[in-house]
Amino acid sequence: MAELTRTLRLYWRLQRATMRGAMQYRLNTVISILTGAIYQGSGFAFIWVIMHTFPAMAGWSLPQIAFLYGLRLTAHALCMLPLSSLIGIDWLVREGEFDRILLRPLNPLVQLMTKRMGVGQLGDLLVGVVLLVVAAGAADVAWTPGLVAFCAAAVVGGALVEASFFLALSSMALRMLDTFALKVFVDDVFSKFGSYPMSVFGGVTQWLLTYVLPVAFVAYVPAGVVLGKLVMPLAYASPLLGVALFAVAYLIWTRQLRHYQSVGT
């Protein structure tokens, strides 16, 4: 417990230093946030245009789709804010820079997480939270303290589901050297399919996105519970899936770390 507390304290200090470094270039920071917000906003604008022609999508109204989209986007932002530095792990391994990280007396993953700040993801978070709050009021949900707590847990759980796959694929770079294309592919699947009700995609695709690559558990299943679209007792435990998957991903990371060989050997 003492070691965990120390690691968390060091992580926070390093992350604050990274934030101060990013804020030295304020205009660049503002542009990055606005770019992220505009990009994600345009994605929802596309859905908005479609649903003005078709008032419902697989039985989901526009406010309900907005809630689903906001839930997915908020979870994505919470995932990528601390983990965006892992995008560059392939380069660090190929250039031998990862060796320097291993020589320092701090968890290598914590060091990687604090190398840079995902400024663009702040724009994602802004749009996601705004959509979530506005849609929560427009979707005619009978909010209770328990439902609010479940929604908050679902956001964290969804972030952990996405983070688990991102971390596991990044850890493969310690031996495969280049996993960038695979990470981009998985990120596209989560982003493009996770913003819609799974029932839109049909039987086989829906099964794959639920039980093979669990995109459905990032937002669709929790949103279905909140909006009364899914009546499944196990669906209320969906946030726990993120915890379990991230634990597995971290075990994969530590295993790959033990088998890491420097590029010079």
The pair of three-digit structure tokens given for residue 134, joined into one six-digit string: 């506005």
Q: What is the pLDDT of residue 1?
A: 62
Number of domains forming the structure of the chain: 1
Is 82 contained in some domain? yes
Is 263 contained in some domain? no
At residue 264, the 3 state secondary structure works out as: coil
Is 264 contained in some domain? no
Return the closest-CA partner of residue 222 out of 122, 123, 136, 127.
136
Task: Report the percentage of the chain scoring pLDDT > 90.
Answer: 19
pLDDT tens by residue, 66-94: 999 999 999 999 998 888 888 888 888 88
Residues 6+ apart with CB under 8 A from 103: none
> How far apart are alpha carbons 224 and 207 in whole angstroms?
16
Residue 165 contacts residue 83 (beta carbons within 8 Å): no
What beta strand segments (E) does the chain contain?
none
Domain that holds residue 70: 2-258
Considering the entire predicted model, what is its pTM?
0.87
pLDDT tens by residue, 125-176: 888 899 888 988 888 888 888 888 999 999 999 999 999 999 999 998 888 7
Return the closest-CA partner of residue 180 out of 170, 195, 194.
170
The pair of three-digit structure tokens given for residue 224, joined into one six-digit string: 């279905």
Cα 81–82–86 angle (5° rounding)? Answer: 105
Quickly count: other Cβ atoms within 10 Å of residue 145's Cβ.
Answer: 7
Is 265 contained in some domain? no
Q: Is pLDDT of 265 > 70?
A: no
pLDDT tens by residue, 25-47: 777 778 777 887 787 777 788 87
